[in-house]
A and B are shown apart, each in its own frame.
Chain A
């Protein structure tokens, strides 16, 4: 039971010797952050891999993310994500102010800044949910060929995109959503698109002004628009209607784009969500005076490190998904 202490090594092993001048908890948080940074690196680099592999047919982010709350139908690329970035940077600032107030043992200030941080995080997660909703819902719709290529439509009179729901012409069909109760019981399908393939094809053939826009990018970085005769041939090859995006189909273009979007922003959003939850726990601990009794607010500093890291990752996600 006796602890033997070697007099010569007392300086090194006797405790109190801190080569990095950081506590155990802080070091472990840094361990986690470094490994998590490498995880995000893996995701973002594999996104880059897929993008460079399909460099001449990748969707243009400015055309995908064009929504802004209360501005319906107005083309507002990037403004919303820019706003989200500012919200997250600002909540990072309130977090670092909370840490600073903790250093001076000012309990009420720590409480106030923690609350602002939580609100900022909640706004960010909500914004991301809204962004996902728009992305999943889609805007113009598209056709998909057997090879998985996406055919979008352009109105040559205006030069703008045409929505399939608008030019499709009703065709009598008895195709209904398959239910396990009235068909093969072990098979089911999600809701059918609002318009059927035959309706889109008919609408396209009847409107002489419509042409097809393919996924391929021309030398100016714009999507290739086919001539009317080429378009008719392409539309005949189409096998399915795509509205919005999910993990299998994507009306915006390459389906990998949607997969990576869901995966990377989802993983980041989950980090923000867990950050908010941890912040709330710390917030209540601050109110209860746990850290006041403990004599220091290092816990706020540790959760702050995590929160800043989430902000740091968003800076990169923002660049590689929306800007580049």
Chain B
């Protein structure tokens, strides 16, 4: 009985690993090689990787340059935050998109998998950030209008 179960297990395992192997091979060949909505097409997956690296490096360089120069024109407040900080956050999200889509191969995944990874994060993160930052801003107002002394 035990032997029977064991051999069945082995058979099942072999069967599964064969399927795994097959689908893995299939996925490997089906890379999508265009970025920027098809504006830039690469000949091979390797070329795409280097292309994305160059893009990410450019974005990081822009961020660092802006962080060092801090142009006066971007220090204006917009929606309770400096425009410069908005630029930083947007560029960060752009970078995150290309890391996830091209390095983590989300671009090549089925839409079901893509959505079940991205949507929970896309819904929960802005929600949490929104309620906590609003709350923090309120606490700041309370403390700032004299209920707590700067020093005691």
Q: Give the B-binding residues of A (Cβ under 8 A).
A: 1, 3, 15-16, 18-23, 27, 30, 33-34, 37-38, 41-42, 45-46, 48-56, 62, 77-79, 82, 85-86, 89-90, 92-93, 95-97, 100, 103-104, 145-147, 149, 216, 221, 234, 237, 295-296, 298, 304-305, 308-309, 311-312, 315-316, 318-319, 322-324
- Interface members, chain B 119-152 (any A CB < 8 Å): 120-121, 124-125, 128-129, 132-133, 135-137, 139-140, 143-144, 149-152
Give me 16 A-to-B residue pairs in the complex whose CB atoms sit less than 8 angstroms apart, sorted by A's number: A21-B27, A22-B113, A41-B125, A52-B136, A53-B140, A54-B140, A77-B67, A78-B68, A79-B64, A93-B49, A93-B52, A96-B103, A146-B152, A147-B150, A308-B103, A319-B89
With known contacts A21-B23, A30-B117, A38–B50 Cβ distance under 8 A: no
Q: Quick check: is B36 within 8 A (CB to CB) of the other chain?
A: no
With known contacts A82-B64, A296-B24, A309–B104 Cβ distance under 8 A: yes
Question: How does the 8 Å CB contact mask read for B14-45 relative to A, with 1 for contact and 0 for none?
Answer: 01100111011111110000000000000001
With known contacts A41-B124, A45-B129, A56–B152 Cβ distance under 8 A: no
Could you tell me if A100 and B45 are in contact, using CB atoms closer than 8 angstroms? yes
The closest CB in chain B to the CB of A56 belongs to B144
Instruction: Give Cα A104–Cα B152 distance, bound, in whole angstroms.
Output: 68
Q: For the A-B complex with A23-B23, A77-B68, A103-B29 known, give 15 more contacts whose Cβ atoms are closer than 8 Å.
A: A1-B8, A20-B110, A41-B129, A45-B125, A45-B128, A45-B129, A49-B135, A52-B133, A78-B68, A93-B49, A147-B152, A296-B21, A318-B92, A319-B88, A323-B67
Interface size classification for chain B: 35 or more
Could you tell me if B135 and A23 are in contact, using CB atoms closer than 8 angstroms? no
The closest CB in chain B to the CB of A89 belongs to B56
The secondary structure that dominates the B interface is helix
Partner of A1, one of B1, B25, B68, B152: B1
Could you tell me if A89 and B124 are in contact, using CB atoms closer than 8 angstroms? no
Could you tell me if A315 and B113 are in contact, using CB atoms closer than 8 angstroms? no
Inside 8 A of B73's CB, which chain A residues have their CB?
A: none
With known contacts A22-B109, A324-B89, A100–B136 Cβ distance under 8 A: no
Whole-angstrom distance from the CB of B41 to the nearest CB of chain A?
17
- Interface members, chain B 44-68 (any A CB < 8 Å): 45-46, 49-50, 52-53, 56-57, 60, 63-64, 67-68
Could you tell me if B140 and A86 are in contact, using CB atoms closer than 8 angstroms? no
Could you tell me if A15 and B64 are in contact, using CB atoms closer than 8 angstroms? no
Inside 8 A of B117's CB, which chain A residues have their CB?
A: 30, 33-34
Partner of B137, one of A46, A52, A92, A319: A52
The closest CB in chain B to the CB of A237 belongs to B151
Instruction: Give Cα A33–Cα B109 distance, bound, in whole angstroms.
Output: 16
Inside 8 A of A316's CB, which chain B residues have their CB?
A: 92, 96
Instruction: Give Cα A319–Cα B95 distance, bound, in whole angstroms.
Output: 11
Partner of B99, one of A56, A92, A216: A92
Partner of B53, one of A22, A34, A90, A221: A90
Could you tell me if B60 and A85 are in contact, using CB atoms closer than 8 angstroms? yes
Whole-angstrom distance from the CB of B32 to the nearest CB of chain A?
14
Inside 8 A of A296's CB, which chain B residues have their CB?
A: 20-21, 24-25
Could you tell me if A1 and B5 are in contact, using CB atoms closer than 8 angstroms? yes
Instruction: Give Cα A319–Cα B92 distance, bound, in whole angstroms.
Output: 7
Instruction: Give Cα A103–Cα B108 distance, bound, in whole angstroms.
Output: 14
Could you tell me if A312 and B96 are in contact, using CB atoms closer than 8 angstroms? yes
Inside 8 A of A311's CB, which chain B residues have their CB?
A: 99, 103
Instruction: Give Cα A4–Cα B2 distance, bound, in whole angstroms.
Output: 18
Whole-angstrom distance from the CB of A92 to the nearest CB of chain B?
6
